[in-house]
A and B are shown apart, each in its own frame.
Chain A
């Protein structure tokens, strides 16, 4: 499973979660979980004992994973279409760090629409706004609004969903600690039922 983190730091949760124009974002919210975060520390900080801290990307680097940290949307598009990464962190530099206009939200929506085109089903997607998040992962057992999370929880949660052992001490807590993860394929579908639906009403059969 690869991990995609999209940073839109200035995006307010109120607008992100309620602006009807943001169809792509809301589809992701329906597929996974979302919520506001208390900002106790940096979102990407993992910690080891003796206060030696490392950031989420370094955690993946230490496991010999291909990590990319970019701010330029053109490079992002390239990376996504080639797919040569295990961990990709994109900080949207072309968006304001603070105080978004209504247009900025629409740009995010369009950008997101493009980004989603090139992903694999088992990609773990995290979208970060101003003290808020949307998290989609096929194996994520949490759905809907997740309350009471802190920024520091994101890193351990992502590490665990991606299948890594957590450092013995982390600053935050993984939300899925102790939970059974969904099987990777995620959706359970009864093929024959859907088939019957599709063929129902043909008359000839």
Chain B
């Protein structure tokens, strides 16, 4: 083959897709299924975007690429940390460098070595980007300007609004229809205070709009009530002569009685990103010159704004549409000039949208008791899937006789109605100890009250359990033999755990890392992985090390769908325009399949098979 075109639809759920195809609702995917074939696609332990796409790119299980979860822990401090990349600074006088923690060899390295060009848009776990022959724009893993997955700001004239942990709140006062405020930028590492960029807001109540003026670009623009604004380019003075630029979008929520304005996380600006987000470095900006400014943060969709009720579902859908439109422009621009080699474009929105709209599929979802049920959104996911099908159709227009065409998702999507407080289970069963005088429910995140000298195991991330091992954890207490018996105890105690309130099995199984991983990075993996049933997940308090009271809790957040359950129940989809071996294909198989079709032998570490042979 001369060309491979792969379209990624993050979190595209097979059960929904299959039903819609059966009803003829996804004509392009149906056409692919008829031409080549369709199968569910086996995902990774665990079924998460960074883990799964890293297996797609390297053709190895996570033990071969080192990405096991969004989060890991620092064994010296027990603190949860980002597992996708790390900042390294040789000393205090030089700039930090970002290091990608996805290791292994992605298949585009092998293509580059053979002079085969790749064009890749929004590649997860490629921050900083891999050096490729061709072009790469990094996706999930690129932070916002504050260095996180994304911190929005909510401006309000009310004084009783308090910031949740994943947002900033700025209290403003309206004086003769004018507001002087600022956009919040990166934190100053020395003073810990936030860098600010001043903006002035003129309130025009009669026209339901505001006018924002600043030293940014554009220096003056309107924001209409309920609508997403254009991008504002801002510049933070972070040193005497040092500036960092970013882009931000606003959504005006309300003018009366209280003023309310939402600002997106500040994204890197493509001309001067804080750290490179594309290969070659200039590519991100060249692309922006052609298709317009775009979200650069790995998490482009503002799910936080909706989750925290800073805006409503319709506003979130509008924003998702903006992301989809810009991604489609990128895809079409690149496909127009794509001549040979490998093309990839990832659409993240099906995942981010389904997380937030799943609850409307289930009127009895506990989230609806808090946020209300709205029939209008019952088919929001299906509607979005129809758009995804249209996108696939657009890409298929570029298929000729020498094109191998693939559409896939990294995992599926499911209901998330109930959460398990995994640390509380460990506590109640004698594996995790709390400091004298405290009990579950007393402390906050970050294992606040945990007594490490007596703790055998702790949970963090999205279903990871680590043992407290001597010589590995800073206060480790278990030697090898003890660790084995602790693991046995947790496996037997947790497997088949019942949610007695619902008379349902919440935990299907618990696996030891060596059962599901092999390769050079297994030693970095969690010691145990918990496989949940449909409808369950770790509770909201678990990922950052909370030990709340009670084992099971209803999920009351608008984030009512999730996929970090038993991977067997969280497969993705695979459509190809060539006949392929449909008996249990997995993400491991894509790298060898793509390489082979372009005439390049698969890498020595790659574990999968060529699905076309």
Contacts and interface: CB of A to CB of B under 8 A. Distances in A.
Contacts of B304: 200-201, 203
B441 to A, nearest CB: 19
Nearest to B356: A203
A199 B544 contact: yes
Nearest to B355: A203
B96 to A, nearest CB: 12
B148 A198 contact: yes
Contacts of A200: 146, 148-151, 165-167, 304
A195 B444 CA distance: 14
Given A198-B82, A202-B299, A187 B543 contact: no
B239 A26 contact: yes
A138 interface: yes
Contact of A201 (B71, B166, B446, B540): B166
A194 B187 contact: yes
Contacts of B299: 201-203
B584 interface: no
A136 B146 CA distance: 26
B93 A27 contact: yes
A121 interface: yes
Nearest to B243: A20
Nearest to A196: B165
A63 interface: no
Interface string B558-571: 01001010000000
B149 A116 contact: no
Interface in A116-142: 116-117, 119-121, 123, 125, 136, 138
A189 interface: yes
A197 B94 CA distance: 22
Nearest to A145: B240
Interface string A32-43: 000000000000
A31 B92 contact: yes
B241 A203 contact: no
B273 to A, nearest CB: 15
Contacts of B562: 204
A36 to B, nearest CB: 15
A111 interface: no
Interface string B66-88: 00001100000101111000000
Contacts of A28: 93
B144 interface: yes
A103 interface: no
Interface string B298-321: 010001100100000000000000
B397 interface: no
Contacts of A51: none
Given A195-B79, A201-B299, A203-B299, A136 B93 contact: yes
Given A30-B239, A187-B190, A190-B192, A201 B144 contact: yes
Nearest to B186: A197
Interface residues of A, number: 39
B548 interface: no
Interface string A1-40: 0000000000000000010100100111111000000000
Nearest to A190: B192
Nearest to A116: B93
Interface residues of B, number: 48
A64 interface: no
A143 to B, nearest CB: 9
Interface string A173-205: 000000000000011111111111111111111
B93 A204 contact: no
Interface string B229-254: 00000000001111000000000000
Interface in B305-343: 307
A108 to B, nearest CB: 15
Nearest to B241: A26
B290 interface: no
Contacts of A201: 144, 148-152, 166, 265, 299, 304
B257 interface: no
A121 B80 contact: no
A121 B92 CA distance: 5
B242 A30 contact: yes
A94 B150 CA distance: 48
A23 B242 contact: yes
B91 A116 contact: yes
Contacts of B242: 23, 26-27, 30
A137 to B, nearest CB: 11
Interface string B153-184: 00000000000011100000000000000000
A142 B488 CA distance: 58
B95 A202 contact: no
Given A197-B151, A200-B166, A201-B150, A119 B93 contact: yes
Contacts of B307: 203
Given A27-B95, A119-B93, A201-B150, A191 B79 contact: yes
A32 B151 CA distance: 30
B89 to A, nearest CB: 9
Contacts of B79: 191-192, 195
A201 B144 CA distance: 9
Contacts of B91: 116-117, 119-121, 123
Contact of B71 (A117, A187, A191, A199): A199
Contacts of A186: 92
A194 B544 CA distance: 14
Contacts of A191: 77, 79
B189 A189 contact: yes
23 contacts: A20-B241, A26-B239, A26-B241, A117-B91, A119-B91, A120-B91, A123-B91, A187-B190, A191-B77, A192-B79, A195-B79, A197-B187, A198-B149, A199-B80, A199-B148, A199-B149, A200-B148, A201-B144, A201-B299, A202-B149, A203-B149, A203-B304, A204-B562
Given A27-B93, A195-B446, A203-B355, 15 more contacts: A26-B240, A27-B239, A117-B91, A119-B93, A121-B92, A123-B91, A189-B192, A197-B187, A199-B71, A203-B149, A203-B299, A203-B352, A203-B559, A204-B564, A205-B543
Which 8 residue pairs spanning A and B have beta carbons closest together?
A: A201-B150, A201-B149, A30-B239, A200-B166, A205-B543, A200-B148, A116-B93, A121-B92
